[in-house]
Amino acid sequence: MSLLDLIAAADERGLAAAAVACLERCLPQPAPGTGPDPLRPLWAACAEPRLWPARLAEARTALDTLAHPGEPAAHVRDLLAAAPGDRAGEALRAWADACSVLALEVHLGHDMTVPATPDPVARCRAGDPSGAGPLLVGEAARQTAILEMLAAMDEDAPATAGLRQIRDVSTEGGRILRAAAARRGRVRS
Alpha-helical runs (H) found in 33-162:
40-47, 52-65, 71-82, 89-110, 120-125, 134-152
Virtual CA dihedral for 56, 58, 61, 65, nearest 10 degrees?
Answer: -130
Q: How confident is the model at residue 189 (pLDDT cuts 50, 70, 90)?
A: low
Residue 160 has pLDDT above 80, yes or no: no
Distance CA 9, CA 33 (A): 40
Closest Cα partner for 56 from 97, 88, 11?
88
For 2, left (φ over 0), alpha (ψ -120 to 50), or beta?
beta
Q: How confident is the model at residue 137 (pLDDT cuts 50, 70, 90)?
A: very high
Average pLDDT over residues 12-22: 94
Dmax (CA) for the chain in angstroms is 53
What are the two backbone dihedrals, phi and then psi, of residue 83, each rounded to the nearest 5 degrees?
Answer: -60, 140
Distances (CA, A) of 22 to 6, 30, 87: 14, 16, 16
Average pLDDT over residues 104-115: 86
